[in-house]
């Protein structure tokens, strides 16, 4: 358990340091994402495994409703994503939540999410991940 705690602490410190890098225009524009070709199954795999040295989303987020001391539960995300920010689709909200995690913080959580996913994912991977997140009810 100590190894996991050390890993999580390293992840949190790294995310805090990378949080300063979350300004500016994303490398992947929202318009580049082709949701018609997105594969939620591939997105689920990305959610659950490290990709290109980026931590797996499941390291900090659960999809079962269990709360984590690190990240909020994503259970029910499909229902609320489209209504979190007025004028934004669920896909656009999820896009910004992945690429600019400090933009829309959930109450009670700090901006400690890994902020370098845009450099670790390609547009099809990001579309797949967003498609998967859109299935979480």
Determine the pLDDT at residue 4.
63
Closest Cα to residue 46, out of 130, 135, 108? 130
Q: What is the CATH number of the domain that holds 16?
A: 1.10.760.10
55-70: b or e for each residue (b if 16 or more CB lie within 10 Å)?
A: bebbbbbbbeeeeeeb
Containing structural domain, residue 67: 2-133
Determine the pLDDT at residue 20.
43
Q: Please give the tally of structural domains in the chain.
A: 1
Are the C-beta atoms of residues 51 and 98 closer than 8 Å to each other? no
Sign of CA dihedral 60, 63, 68, 72: positive
The more confident residue out of 18 and 6 is 6
The whole-angstrom separation of Cα 115 and Cα 14 is: 9
Q: What is the pLDDT of residues 28-76, one digit of tens each?
A: 999 999 999 999 999 999 999 998 899 999 999 999 888 777 888 999 9
Determine the pLDDT at residue 16.
46
Q: Following DSSP, what letter does each residue of 66-122 receive, concatenated?
A: ---SSS---TTHHHHGGGSSTT--HHHHHHHHHHSTTSSPPTT--S-S---HHHH--
Task: Evaluate if pTM is beyond 0.85.
Answer: no
Q: What is the pLDDT of residues 87-126, one digit of tens each?
A: 999 999 999 999 999 998 888 888 899 989 999 999 999 9
């Amino acid at each position: 358990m100590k190894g996991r705690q050390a890993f999580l602490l390293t992840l949190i410190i790294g995310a805090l340091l990378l949080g300063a890098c979350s300004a500016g225009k994303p490398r992947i524009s929202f318009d580049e994402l082709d949701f018609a070709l997105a594969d939620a199954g591939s997105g689920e795999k990305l959610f659950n495994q490290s990709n290109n040295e980026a931590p797996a989303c499941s390291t900090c987020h659960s999809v079962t409703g269990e709360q984590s001391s690190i990240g909020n539960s994503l259970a029910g995300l499909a229902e609320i994503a489209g209504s979190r920010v007025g004028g934004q689709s669920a896909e656009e909200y999820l896009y910004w939540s992945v690429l600019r995690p400090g933009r829309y913080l959930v109450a009670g959580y700090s901006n400690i999410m890994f902020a370098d996913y845009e450099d670790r994912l390609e547009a099809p991977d990001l579309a797949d991940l967003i498609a998967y997140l859109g299935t979480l009810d």
